[in-house]
Amino acid sequence: MTTYSFLDDYSEGAHPQILQALTATNSVQQAPYGEDAYSHEAKAKIRSHLANPDCAIFFVASGTLANIITIGSFLRPHEAVIAAASGHIVTRETGAIEAIGHKIITVPPVNGKLTPDGIRAALEANAHFPHMAKPRLVYISNATEIGTIYSKAELQAISDLCRERKLILYMDGARLGAALSGYQNDLTLTDIGLLTDAFWIGGTKVGALLGEAIVITNPSLAEDFAFHIKQRGGLLAKGRILGLQFQELFGPTNLFFNLALHSNAMAKKLATGITNAGYELAANTETNQVFPILPNALIASLSKLFAFYVWEKRGEHNSVIRLVTSWATEEAQVDRLVEAINSETVSTNV
Amino acid sequence: MTTYSFLDDYSEGAHPQILQALTATNSVQQAPYGEDAYSHEAKAKIRSHLANPDCAIFFVASGTLANIITIGSFLRPHEAVIAAASGHIVTRETGAIEAIGHKIITVPPVNGKLTPDGIRAALEANAHFPHMAKPRLVYISNATEIGTIYSKAELQAISDLCRERKLILYMDGARLGAALSGYQNDLTLTDIGLLTDAFWIGGTKVGALLGEAIVITNPSLAEDFAFHIKQRGGLLAKGRILGLQFQELFGPTNLFFNLALHSNAMAKKLATGITNAGYELAANTETNQVFPILPNALIASLSKLFAFYVWEKRGEHNSVIRLVTSWATEEAQVDRLVEAINSETVSTNV
Amino acid sequence: MTTYSFLDDYSEGAHPQILQALTATNSVQQAPYGEDAYSHEAKAKIRSHLANPDCAIFFVASGTLANIITIGSFLRPHEAVIAAASGHIVTRETGAIEAIGHKIITVPPVNGKLTPDGIRAALEANAHFPHMAKPRLVYISNATEIGTIYSKAELQAISDLCRERKLILYMDGARLGAALSGYQNDLTLTDIGLLTDAFWIGGTKVGALLGEAIVITNPSLAEDFAFHIKQRGGLLAKGRILGLQFQELFGPTNLFFNLALHSNAMAKKLATGITNAGYELAANTETNQVFPILPNALIASLSKLFAFYVWEKRGEHNSVIRLVTSWATEEAQVDRLVEAINSETVSTNV
Amino acid sequence: MTTYSFLDDYSEGAHPQILQALTATNSVQQAPYGEDAYSHEAKAKIRSHLANPDCAIFFVASGTLANIITIGSFLRPHEAVIAAASGHIVTRETGAIEAIGHKIITVPPVNGKLTPDGIRAALEANAHFPHMAKPRLVYISNATEIGTIYSKAELQAISDLCRERKLILYMDGARLGAALSGYQNDLTLTDIGLLTDAFWIGGTKVGALLGEAIVITNPSLAEDFAFHIKQRGGLLAKGRILGLQFQELFGPTNLFFNLALHSNAMAKKLATGITNAGYELAANTETNQVFPILPNALIASLSKLFAFYVWEKRGEHNSVIRLVTSWATEEAQVDRLVEAINSETVSTNV
C-alpha cells in the first residue's frame, strides 16, 4: 500500500471539470499563440474581477516563466529587485532573475512577508549611485512561501511606499487562490489590481494542469509584452490549453475560489485535529500549509502511512513537519492522518 | 459556417488517446518536477529507439524553451551558433538565442537545409580570433522550416564535419515526426542519436497538447542540465503531463509515427489532387506542407471556405499558398478542398 | 633593421602634447570617476561644437565598451539593431552586442555604408511580431570599416527614415576624426549632433592613449546612463586621464582635427604616389586607408621593409594590400614606401 | 586654499616613473591588443614571482572589468558566486556580476573577511538542487573593503575547503599591493598563486594610471580567455600602455611593493599620531585605511583643511571618519593633519 502524500499541492493532475473542458473542445480549430477564443473569454472573465479597464492579461506555463518574463520586461539592466530573503525568486528559481541580468536585494522577512520598513532599509542601503544597482521593483508573494497572507492594510502600506518612491509593485500569486480564500483574508482581486502594478494568478497549484495568468494593471508596463513571452519561450503554440483552463477556473462554478477554499479547509481541519491531539504548530495556519511540532518517534510512525517534508528540528526529540493540502486532498485522508496521530500518541505514550 | 483551417499543425488540441490517458491517471499522486513514473517510463520508451545507453532525456513545454535551454547550457559566452538563415531560431524566436548571449552566424539555406559547404564557409569567415565569436554549435531543423528533410547521407556529412571541427551538432525536431515519416526519409531515431550530440522530438505539432523531448546523446553535454531547465522556467511542477504524453506517443500504438504518417498522407493527397487539377507546386511535398501555385481569383474563392497563408506572389496573376496538414486533418476536408479547386477552376475558366 | 608599420592607426602611444598634459597635471588631486575638472572642461569643449544644449557626454576606455554600454542602455531586451554586415559590432567585437542580449539584423553594405533602402528592407523582413525581435536602433560607422564616409545628404536621409520609423540612430565614431577631416566630407560635428540620437568620438585612433567620448544628443536616452558605464566596467577610478586627453584633443590647438588631417594627408600622398607609379586602387582613398592592387612579387619585396595586411587576392598575380596611416605616420616613411614601389617596379619589370 | 584629500587612493595620476616610461617608449611602434613587447615583458616579470609555470596573465583597464571577465568566463549560467556581504562585487559594482547572469550568495563578513565557516553555511543553505543556483566560485578581496588582510593560515583554510568542495577560489586584488605590504602580512605572491585558482593584481590604486593584471593559475580556467576580454570591451587597441605600467611596477625598482609600503607607512603614522592624541580607532590599521573616532566638532574643523569621508556616527557627539593614504600621500600633509588634530583638540577642549 502506498503512502498518501501531503508533500505539496501539485501531486495530482487537474480538477475533472478542467479535463472535461479540454476534452469537449478538443477538436475545435482555434487560432494559435493565445489568440484563441478561450483565452479571450478567460481574460474577459478575469477582467470582470478588476477595476482596471486597461489591464493587460497574458497566460504562461509556469511561475518561474511568469517571473522571468515580467521582471525582465519591466526593468532596465541597471535596475534591481527588492524581495524578502525567503522569496521564491531568491530561494527556488535557480537564479533565474540574475540569469536575465538583475540583482535581487534581499530583506529579512517578517512572518514570511516584506514590510515598508524592510523596503525602506533596502533603499537606504542601496543608494550609493551609480555604484549600486538601482532598486526599482518590489517583489512580494501572496500567499507567502510559508503560507502567510498580506492584509489589505499591509498591502496598502507597501503600495503607498512604492508609489511615493517610484517603485513597481509586483505580486507573485503562485498561491493567490489560497491567499484570497484565507480565513483572515480581507483582500479582493479588485484590491490587488488597484494596489499593485502587476501580479499573477497561479493556476497550477489551485487545480489546473499548468498555467499562470499575468495581469499588468499599469498600462505603461504592458508595452511590447508579447515579445518577451515569445523571447523567453513562454508562448505556447496551443495557447488554447491555458486559456481554456482559466476560462473554467473563473467560470460560473467559481472553481478558482472553491478549490482554494477546499484546500484551506482541509488544512484547517488538520490543524485543529493536531492541536486537539495536544501538539503545537510552529506557525499559524493561514492558508493550505500546516507546520505541526511532533515527537520524532511519532514522525517516524506517520511516515509509513503518509508522505510529507520534515522541515526542521526542534530540540532533541521533536521536529517541525510540513503538511500541504490541495484542491485534491481527500477529507478521509485528513481524518486518517489525525486518527493516526491520536492513536500513535497513545501507543507511544504507553 | 466557419472555414476549415489548413493554417498550421496546431489548431486542434491533442489526439484523443492522450486526453484519455490524462483523464485516466488524473487522480494518481505523483512526484513533481519530472520525477513522476510516467516521465521515467516515457524516457525508457524513447531510449528503446536509441543506441546511446548514456543519453539523457528531458521534457519541456515549448520548442523555444528547448532551444534556449539546450543551447544556453552547451555554450560558453563567447561561443556562437551556425544556422541556416531560414532557421527557426533565426526568424521566429524573437532573438531568444541572442537574448541569452549567443551570436548566430547565418548561412544561406539550400532547399531549406544547411550543408557542409555552408558550415565550412561560416567557419572560414569567422576565424579572426579573439575578435570574432567562436563557432561552436551547428543548428539544423528536421523537417526544415519549409518541410524538406535531411537524408542519411546529408546528415552523415554534416556530422562528420562537426566531429572533425569540434562542433556540437544539434537538431531542432519540432517536426521530427513528419521528417521520420517522410516519403523519401531514410533516417531513423537511432541514426539521429548516433549522428548528433543532441536533438529534440517535437510533441506539440505531432499531436500532444504541448511538450518536447530533449535528447542529449553526448553525455558530457548533459552535466547539470536540470539546473538550466529550472533557471529558464522550463521545469513544470506537474511534469507528469509531459511525461504521460510522451509515454502515449511512444507507447504500443506507435502514435508518434502513425500521427505523422497521417499528416504526411493528407499532404500527399492534397498535392496529388492539386497537380491533377493542373497546378504546379512551388516545392516538393516531402512532409506535411504543400505549396501550390494558384491563380489569385481561385485563391480568393478558396479563402471563403478554407483558411491558409498566402505565401508569396508569382507574377501578376498567381500566388503561392501554404497548406499545412496535421494529425487531426480530416480526409473529407482534403477531398472538399481538392473538389473546390477543381470546380472553381472550371467556373473561373468559363 | 625593423620594418615600418602601416598596419593600423594605433601602433604608437599618444601625441606628445597629451603626454605632456598628463605629466603636468599628474600631482593635482582630483575627484574620481569622471567628476574631475578635466572631464568637465573636456565636455564643455565638445559641447561647444554642438547645437544640442541638453546633450550628455561620457568618456570610456574602448570602442567596444562604448558600443556595449550605449546599445545596452538604450534598448529593451526584445529590441534589435540594424547594421551593415561589415559593421564593427558584427565582425570585430566577438559578439559583444549579442552577449548583452540583442540581435543584430544585418544588411549588405553599399560602399561600406548602410542606406535607407537597406534599412527599409530590414524592417520589412523583420515585421512578423512578436515572433521576431523588434528593430529599434540603427548602427552606422563613420568613417566606415573600409574608410568611406557618409555625406551630409546620406546621413540626412538615414536620419529622416529613423525619425519616421521611430528608430534610434547611433553612430560609431572610432574614426570620426578621419571622417570629419576627409577630402570630400561635408558633415560637421554640429550636423552629427542634430541628425543622430547618439554617437561617439574616437580618441584612441586619432592620437590618445585610449578613450572615446560618448555623446547622447537625445536627452530621453541619457537617463541613468552612468549606472550602465559602471555596470559594464567602464567607469575608471582615474577618469581624469580620459577627460584630460579630450581636453587636449578639443583644446586651442585643434589637435583632434589636425591629427586627423595629417593622417588623411599621409594616405592621400600614398595613394597619389602609388597611382602615379601605375597601380590602381581597389577603393577610393576617402580617409586614412589605402587599398592598392599590386603584383605579388612587389608585395613580397615591400614586406621586407614595411608591415601591412594583404587584404585579398586579385587574379593570379596581384593582390590588394591595406595601408593605414595615422597621426604618427612619418612623411619620410611615406616617401620611402612610394620610392620602394617605384624602384621595385623597375627592377621587377626588367 | 584647497583642502588636501585623504578621500581615496586614486586622487592623483601615476607615479612619475610610469609617466616617464610612457614618454620614453611613446614613438616605438608596437603590435596592438596586448601583443606588444612591454606586455610580454611584464608578464614574465610577474611570473617570476609565481611558482605556476602554466599560469596565464592578462591586463585589463578596470577592476570591475577584471571581475566581469573572469567570473563570466569561469562559470556556466547556473553557477553562483559566494562572497562576503561587504564584497566589492556585492556593494560597489552596480550589479555587474548579476548583469552577466550570475547570482551572488552573500555571507556576513568577519572582520571584513570570508571564513570557511561562512562558506560552509552558504553551501548548506544552497543545496536544494536544481531549484537553487549551484555555488561554484568563492570571491574574496585582499586587502578587504575595510582594509583588513588574510593571513596565510586563513587563505590556506579557505583554499583547502574550496579544493575539497570543487569550488574555484578567486581573489580580487584591487589593493593587493597594500595587503602584501601590510605590517602583519605573511603571504607572498607565490603563496597566492598556489592557493587560488585566479587572482588579480591592482595597478590603479597602487600608482598606475589604470590597469589590473589578471593571473589565472589554474590552466583549465584560461581556455579561450582572450575572447572574453574582447567580448566585454576589455581589449585595448594600445594594450602597450597596460603592459608598460606593469613592466615598471614589477621592474628593478620594486615599485609595486615600495609604493604600497609608503602608502601603508603613511596610514600607520596617521594612526599613531591620532591614538597618541587620545583618540580611538574603530578598526586596526592593517593597510592604508585609518578609521579614527573623533568628536563631531573636531571633524567639522578638520574638514576645512582636509577632505575625507564621515563613515558612521558613534553616539551623539562622535563619528568615525575614513582616511585613505596612497603612494602619493605627502608625509608633510600627514604631519599637518596630526598637528591639526592635536591643536584643535586643545582649542575645542578649552
Asked whether residue C345 carries a pLDDT value surpassing 90, the answer given is: no
Sign of CA dihedral C279, C281, C286, C288: negative
Q: Do A26 and B5 make contact, defined as CB atoms within 8 angstroms?
A: no
Q: Do B210 and A16 make contact, defined as CB atoms within 8 angstroms?
A: no
C31-249 fold:
Aspartate Aminotransferase; domain 2 (3.40.640)
In angstroms, the separation between the Cα of residue C225 and the nearest Cα of chain A is 9
| Minimum-distance CB partner of B78 among D76, D100, D227 | D227
Asked whether residue C7 carries a pLDDT value surpassing 90, the answer given is: yes
Give the residue from A290, A284, A310, A288 showing the smallest Cα distance to A298.
A310
D16 touching chain C per CB within 8 A: yes
Mutate to test the interface with C, among A76, A225, A230 (most CBs of C within 10 A): A76
Phi, psi of A35 (to 5 degrees): -95, 15
Q: Strands C104-107 and C293-295: what pairing? A: unpaired
A130 touching chain D per CB within 8 A: yes
Q: Do B94 and C131 make contact, defined as CB atoms within 8 angstroms?
A: yes
Asked whether residue B349 carries a pLDDT value surpassing 80, the answer given is: no
Mutate to test the interface with A, among B28, B30, B65 (most CBs of A within 10 A): B65
How far is residue C336 CA from its own chain's centroid?
27
User: Residue D98: closest CA among chain C residues belongs to which residue?
Assistant: C231
Confidence of residue B17 (pLDDT cuts 50, 70, 90): very high
Residues of C in contact with B75 (CB under 8 A): none
Q: What is the mean pLDDT of residues C98-113?
A: 97
Q: Do B11 and A30 make contact, defined as CB atoms within 8 angstroms?
A: yes
Mutate to test the interface with C, among D36, D209, D309 (most CBs of C within 10 A): D209
Residues of A in contact with B16 (CB under 8 A): 23, 26
Q: What is the mean pLDDT of residues D307-329?
A: 96
Per-residue pLDDT at C350: 46
A-to-C residue pairs, Cβ atoms closer than 8 angstroms:
52
Q: Is B4-10+255-349 a CATH 3.40.50.150 domain? A: no
Q: For residues B182 and B205, what is the distance between their CA atoms, to the nearest angstrom?
A: 15
Q: Which residue has the higher pLDDT, C204 or C53?
A: C204
For chain D, positions 46-75, list CB contacts with chain C under 8 A: 61-62, 64-65, 67-69
Q: Do D72 and B73 make contact, defined as CB atoms within 8 angstroms?
A: no
Residues of B in contact with D134 (CB under 8 A): 224, 227
Give the residue from A235, A174, A186, A213 showing the smallest Cα distance to A44.
A213
Q: Which residue has the higher pLDDT, A158 or D54?
A: A158
| Minimum-distance CB partner of B231 among A5, A99, A241 | A99
For the stretch B53-92, pLDDT in tens is 889 999 999 999 999 999 999 999 999 999 999 999 999 9
User: Residue A235: closest CA among chain C residues belongs to which residue?
Assistant: C131
B129 touching chain D per CB within 8 A: yes
For the stretch D171-204, pLDDT in tens is 999 999 999 999 999 999 999 999 999 999 999 9
Mutate to test the interface with C, among B67, B103, B107, B232 (most CBs of C within 10 A): B103
Q: What is the mean pLDDT of residues C205-215?
A: 98
Q: Do D93 and C231 make contact, defined as CB atoms within 8 angstroms?
A: yes
Burial of D220: CB neighbours in 10 Å, binned 0-12, 13-18, 19+: exposed
Residues of D in contact with C22 (CB under 8 A): 13, 19, 22, 209
Beta bridge partners of C212: C60, C202
Mutate to test the interface with D, among C29, C70, C91 (most CBs of D within 10 A): C29
Domain boundaries, chain C: 4-10+255-349, 31-249
| Minimum-distance CB partner of C91 among B93, B102, B132 | B132
Phi, psi of D314 (to 5 degrees): -130, 95
In angstroms, the separation between the Cα of residue D273 and the nearest Cα of chain C is 24
Q: For residues B200 and B63, what is the distance between their CA atoms, to the nearest angstrom?
A: 8
Q: For residues A45 and A38, what is the distance between their CA atoms, to the nearest angstrom?
A: 10
User: Residue A235: closest CA among chain B residues belongs to which residue?
Assistant: B62
For the stretch B25-46, pLDDT in tens is 999 999 999 999 999 999 999 9
Residues of A in contact with C127 (CB under 8 A): none
Per-residue pLDDT at C273: 98
Q: Do A131 and C228 make contact, defined as CB atoms within 8 angstroms?
A: no
Residue D326 in 3-state DSSP? coil
User: SS3 sequence, chain C?
Assistant: CCCEECCCCCCCCCCHHHHHHHHHHCCCCCCCCCCCHHHHHHHHHHHCCCCCCCCEEEEECCHHHHHHHHHHHHCCCCEEEEEECCCHHHHCCCCHHHHCCCCEEEECCECCECCHHHHHHHHHHCCCCCCCCEEEEEEEECCCCCCCCCCHHHHHHHHHHHHHCCCEEEEECCCHHHHHCCCCCCCCHHHHHHHCCEEEEECHHHCCCCCEEEEECCHHHCCCHHHHHHHCCCCCCCCHHHHHHHHHHCCCCCHHHHHHHHHHHHHHHHHHHHHHCCCCECCCCCCCEECEEEEHHHHHHHCCCEECEEEEEECCCEEEEEEECCCCCCHHHHHHHHHHHHHHHHHHHC
Beta strands in B183-338 (DSSP E): 198-202, 212-216, 289-290, 293-295, 306-307, 309-314, 318-324
pLDDT > 90: percent of chain A: 96
Q: Do D94 and A128 make contact, defined as CB atoms within 8 angstroms?
A: no
Per-residue pLDDT at C344: 80
Residues of C in contact with B100 (CB under 8 A): 101
For residues D222, D226, D227, D231, the Cα torsion angle rounded to the nearest 10 degrees is: 120
| Minimum-distance CB partner of B101 among C91, C99, C131 | C99
Per-residue pLDDT at A347: 66
Asked whether residue B232 carries a pLDDT value surpassing 90, the answer given is: yes
Confidence of residue B1 (pLDDT cuts 50, 70, 90): low
Query: What's the whole-model pTM score?
Result: 0.97
Per-residue pLDDT at A334: 98
For chain D, positions 235-264, list CB contacts with chain A under 8 A: none
Q: Which residues, including other chains, have CB under 8 Å from residue A25's CB and lie 6 or more apart?
A: A38, A240, A244, B13
Asked whether residue B350 carries a pLDDT value surpassing 50, the answer given is: no
Residues of A in contact with D131 (CB under 8 A): 91-94
Q: Do A128 and D98 make contact, defined as CB atoms within 8 angstroms?
A: no
Q: Do C72 and A73 make contact, defined as CB atoms within 8 angstroms?
A: no
Q: Spell A202-217 as b/e; 16+ CB within 10 A means b.
A: bbbbbbbbbbbbbbbb
Per-residue pLDDT at D350: 46
| Minimum-distance CB partner of D233 among C232, C238, C240 | C232
Q: For residues A33 and A40, what is the distance between their CA atoms, to the nearest angstrom?
A: 12
Angle at C191 between CA C188 and CA C196, to 5 degrees: 125
| Minimum-distance CB partner of D227 among B101, B129, B229 | B129
User: Residue B210: closest CA among chain A residues belongs to which residue?
Assistant: A238
Per-residue pLDDT at D53: 86
DSSP conformation class of D113: B
Per-residue pLDDT at A212: 98
B-to-C residue pairs, Cβ atoms closer than 8 angstroms:
62
Q: Do D235 and C10 make contact, defined as CB atoms within 8 angstroms?
A: no
User: Residue B228: closest CA among chain A residues belongs to which residue?
Assistant: A94
Beta strands in chain A (DSSP E): 4-5, 56-60, 79-84, 104-107, 134-141, 168-172, 198-202, 212-216, 289-290, 293-295, 306-307, 309-314, 318-324
Per-residue pLDDT at C2: 77
A313 touching chain D per CB within 8 A: no
Q: Do C92 and B131 make contact, defined as CB atoms within 8 angstroms?
A: yes
Q: In what order do the strands lie in the sheet with B212-216?
A: B56-60, B212-216, B198-202, B168-172, B134-141, B79-84, B104-107
Per-residue pLDDT at D344: 80
Q: Do B224 and D130 make contact, defined as CB atoms within 8 angstroms?
A: yes
D95 touching chain C per CB within 8 A: yes
Q: For residues C295 and C316, what is the distance between their CA atoms, to the nearest angstrom?
A: 9
Q: Do C131 and A101 make contact, defined as CB atoms within 8 angstroms?
A: no
Q: How far is residue D213 from each of residues A10, B255, C174, D172, measured CA to CA in Å?
A: 52, 60, 26, 11
For the stretch C233-291, pLDDT in tens is 999 999 999 999 999 999 999 999 999 999 999 999 999 999 999 999 999 999 999 99
Q: What is the largest CA-CA distance in chain D?
A: 67
Whether the domain at A4-10+255-349 and the domain at A31-249 fall into the same CATH topology: no
> At what angle are helices A240-249 and A16-25 packed, to 10 degrees?
130
| Minimum-distance CB partner of C26 among D16, D27, D238 | D16
Mutate to test the interface with C, among D4, D94, D326 (most CBs of C within 10 A): D94
Q: Which residues, including other chains, have CB under 8 Å from residue A144's CB and lie 6 or more apart?
A: A84, A86, A109, A111, A112, A113
pLDDT in tens, chain A (350 residues): 579 999 999 999 999 999 999 999 999 999 999 999 999 999 999 999 999 988 999 999 999 999 999 999 999 999 999 999 999 999 999 999 999 999 999 999 999 999 999 999 999 999 999 999 999 999 999 999 999 999 999 999 999 999 999 999 999 999 999 999 999 999 999 999 999 999 999 999 999 999 999 999 999 999 999 999 999 999 999 999 999 999 999 999 999 999 999 999 999 999 999 999 999 999 999 999 999 999 999 999 999 999 999 999 999 999 999 999 999 999 999 999 999 999 987 665 54
Confidence of residue D2 (pLDDT cuts 50, 70, 90): confident
Asked whether residue B6 carries a pLDDT value surpassing 50, the answer given is: yes
Q: For residues C207 and A215, what is the distance between their CA atoms, to the nearest angstrom?
A: 54
For the stretch D258-295, pLDDT in tens is 999 999 999 999 999 999 999 999 999 999 999 999 99
Q: For residues D164 and B114, what is the distance between their CA atoms, to the nearest angstrom?
A: 46
Length of chain A: 350
Beta bridge partners of A295: A318
Confidence of residue C346 (pLDDT cuts 50, 70, 90): low
Asked whether residue B348 carries a pLDDT value surpassing 80, the answer given is: no
For residue A146, the one-letter residue type is I
Q: For residues D227 and B77, what is the distance between their CA atoms, to the nearest angstrom?
A: 9
Q: Do D99 and A77 make contact, defined as CB atoms within 8 angstroms?
A: yes
Give the residue from D208, D205, D91, D180 showing the smallest Cα distance to D139.
D91
